[in-house]
Amino acid sequence: MNNYMKNEYCIYIRNNCISCQRVAQYIAQNNIRIKLINIDLEDNFSLPINLMIFPALLLGNKIIAYGDDIIRKINP
């Protein structure tokens, strides 16, 4: 079951991913309100699109940024 909304920003992360940890930490430290989903912790989760690079910032099913570029995109 997909866990995303069509017009909602969402960042997909994985365990054991240094860049994912940096992005998640930045979001927490700056109190940024954005949905953060660790796909390794979700049961029966399917991504809205096929992703090979994490973290990935999506708007619905469109890739907006990935990796550390996410921080530049969401910088308040």
Residue ranges per domain, the chain? Answer: 9-74
- Cβ neighbours for 62, distance < 8 A, ≥ 6 positions apart: none
Q: What is the pLDDT of residue 73?
A: 92
CA distances from 32 to 7, 29, 44, 50, 73 (A): 17, 8, 27, 25, 12
Tell me the CATH number of domain 9-74, given options 3.30.70, 1.10.30, 3.40.30, 3.40.50.
3.40.30
Q: What is the pLDDT of residue 46?
A: 78
CA distance linking residue 26 with residue 21, whole number of Å:
9
Q: What is the pLDDT of residue 1?
A: 33
Q: Decide if pLDDT at 3 tops 70.
A: no
Q: What is the pLDDT of residue 50?
A: 80
Q: Is the pTM of this model over 0.75?
A: yes
Q: Could you read off the pLDDT of 15-52 as tens digits, one per residue?
A: 999 999 999 999 999 999 999 999 999 888 777 788 88
Average pLDDT value for the chain: 88
